Amino acid sequence: MPTSDSRDVFDDAIKRLDRAFGYARIDEEALEKLKHPKAILQVSIPLRMDDGSLRIFEGYRVRHDDTRGPTKGGIRYHPNVNLDEVMALAFWMTIKCAVVGIPYGGAKGGITVNPKELSRLELERLSRGFIRQMADFLGPDTDIPAPDVYTNPMVMGWMMDEYSKIARRHTPAVITGKPVELGGSLGRDDATGRGAFYCIQELEKRNGWKPEEVRVAVQGFGNAGQALAGLLHEARYKIVAVSDSTGGIYEPAGFDVPSLVRFKNESRKLKAVYCHDSVCEVIDARQITNEELLTLDVDLLVPAALENQITAENVEQIKAPVIVELANGPTSSEADAALGDRHTLVVPDVLANAGGVVVSYFEWTQNKQGFYWTLEEVHQRLAAIMTREFNSVYDFAEEHGIDMRTAAYAHALNRIGTSIEALGTQHYFNEQTPPVRSST
Ligand code: GLU
């Protein structure tokens, strides 16, 4: 476990800023600002367990930067959650929102807990307890949470309800990813996977791919991994390997993804099955580990689980020529450099998984207006943003002969930089000319 003051993940994450700086029009002062989170709140959440005992859980919220708007980002429940990780995740949210041009800064939160060990009632009390401790730090125009690893729409619903009670007014816009019945947006459930799917469709067009010849491995079969695998399967891509936290399955002929999703969601187990009507039959497939999945001979690798999966230790064994990062931070900066040398095309997390926060933005605007969109409107608007920003980043990378991650960061820095500079930098304040010129 990292110590409470270790900053390894955060420091590794911000290394990407210096690399991108050379390609961005941003003042050094603005860059420096991004290396320091704006505000951090750490809380201890007492939880009365079902057996009457009391347990204390650690909770965190980091607001990284709010220059471009209120801060935005998910809340994660995981046994490995720690401040360093949450700081890095908040930083990635700032970059992500700027990459896709939505008016937010970045934040992230989490509780160090294994939610699988809690009962439903304990989980509800913990979620409400988190909000009671955090209420002053959050708000629809301050900081807006959303789901992340092991949190879901129902958890968001409890949190919105608790916040509304504290605020003494119905406040749906304080949190996104809520159940549709409580003000959630249509299309938020599969938005992260769908956003990545739109990126892959652009790759397909640009590279003349034939989907049925593209073999895909997906590490992580949670919300995002399942949604992307399902959309790729529908588009006739061959999903040859998937895994969850307990391990994976591999079948070169490809899986029937809807069967895997159905079985996983009914039994909580990942198994190679083919389902027709209500009967699921076990089919042949090789059992593999999560590490083996990453090194399979496939055309497209999708890390969709946690950070630091592709590292200096295994990067030499990675065979996929294209990686689409659906998880946050799956590749360490050292591994990045090695992938760059080998010309592996990496569609970075801050672009590839931005679909979730884009539809969160749609949910927030719908909550504020009290006017709700159809699923078609959500899909159309999401597709428009993802394809526009994917192509800007891709073109930027080609124009400068750089990798897509550096291009995405430079693209984001240009947006954040101009906002920071609009408030004045040393350069402006040292100018001798009269400070204010009338614009009329
Ligand atoms: N947790 C998601 C992410 O990492 C969604 C954040 C949001 O919707 O605010 O992008």
CATH of the domain at 153: 3.40.50.10860
- What would the pLDDT profile of 55-84 be if each residue is shown by its tens digit? 999 999 999 999 999 999 999 999 999 999
Give the atom of ligand 1 at the shortest distance from the alpha carbon of 357. Answer: 8
Same domain, 47 and 115: yes
Same domain, 155 and 286: no
Give the atom of ligand 1 at the shortest distance from the alpha carbon of 73. Answer: 9
Same domain, 258 and 162: no
Residue 425 inside a domain? The answer is no
Residue 396 inside a domain? The answer is no
Write out residues with Cβ below 6 Å of ligand 1: 72-74, 146, 148, 176-177, 328, 353, 356-357, 360
Residue 231 inside a domain? The answer is yes
- How many angstroms is it from 177 CA to the middle of ligand 1? 9
pLDDT number for residue 435: 61
Residue 385 inside a domain? The answer is no
- Give nearest CA residue, ligand 1 atom 9: 73
- How many angstroms is it from 255 CA to the middle of ligand 1? 28
> Does residue 169 register a pLDDT over 50?
yes
Picking from 310, 326, 352, the residue at the C-terminal end of a domain is: 352
Question: 390 pLDDT band (50/70/90 cuts)?
Answer: very high
Give the atom of ligand 1 at the shortest distance from the alpha carbon of 353. Answer: 10
Same domain, 226 and 134: no
Same domain, 306 and 198: yes
Residue 163 inside a domain? The answer is yes
Picking from 352, 387, 405, the residue at the C-terminal end of a domain is: 352
Cα separations in angstroms, 285 against 234, 250, 255, 270, 292: 21, 6, 9, 12, 14
Same domain, 146 and 215: no
Residue 206 inside a domain? The answer is yes
- How many angstroms is it from 65 CA to the middle of ligand 1? 15
- How many angstroms is it from 71 CA to the middle of ligand 1? 11
Helix residue spans in 116-221 (DSSP H)? 120-134, 153-167, 191-207
Give, to the nearest 10 degrees, the angle between helix 375-400 and helix 191-207: 50
pLDDT number for residue 440: 63
The structure's pTM equals: 0.95
What integer best gives the mean pLDDT of the chain?
Answer: 95
> Does residue 437 register a pLDDT over 80?
no
- What would the pLDDT profile of 113-132 be if each residue is shown by its tens digit? 999 999 999 999 999 999 99
Same domain, 113 and 214: no
- Using most ligand atoms within 8 A of CB, pick from 143, 192, 326 the residue to mutate for ligand 1: 192
Same domain, 122 and 253: no
Residue 334 inside a domain? The answer is yes
Average pLDDT over residues 20-33: 91
> Does residue 1 register a pLDDT over 50?
no
Q: How far is CA 62 from the centre of its chain?
A: 15
Yes or no: say if 390 and 37 are a contact pair by the CB < 8 Å rule.
no
Same domain, 243 and 299: yes
Bridging pattern class, strands 39-48 and 54-65: antiparallel
Residue 28 inside a domain? The answer is no
Same domain, 169 and 203: no
- What would the pLDDT profile of 335-389 be if each residue is shown by its tens digit? 999 999 999 999 999 999 999 999 999 999 999 999 999 999 999 999 999 999 9
- Using most ligand atoms within 8 A of CB, pick from 64, 102, 148, 152 the residue to mutate for ligand 1: 148
Question: Which residue range forms the structural domain that includes residue 52?
Answer: 37-175
- What would the pLDDT profile of 225-264 be if each residue is shown by its tens digit? 999 999 999 999 999 999 999 999 999 999 999 999 999 9
- How many angstroms is it from 129 CA to the middle of ligand 1? 21
Picking from 175, 202, 218, the residue at the C-terminal end of a domain is: 175
Same domain, 228 and 346: yes
Give the atom of ligand 1 at the shortest distance from the alpha carbon of 359. Answer: 8
Yes or no: say if 189 and 223 are a contact pair by the CB < 8 Å rule.
yes
- Domain count of the chain? 2
Same domain, 163 and 208: no
Q: How far is CA 145 from the centre of its chain?
A: 12
CATH of the domain at 312: 3.40.50.720
- What would the pLDDT profile of 282-339 be if each residue is shown by its tens digit? 998 999 999 999 999 999 999 999 999 999 999 999 999 999 999 999 999 999 999 9
Residues noted as catalytic: 108
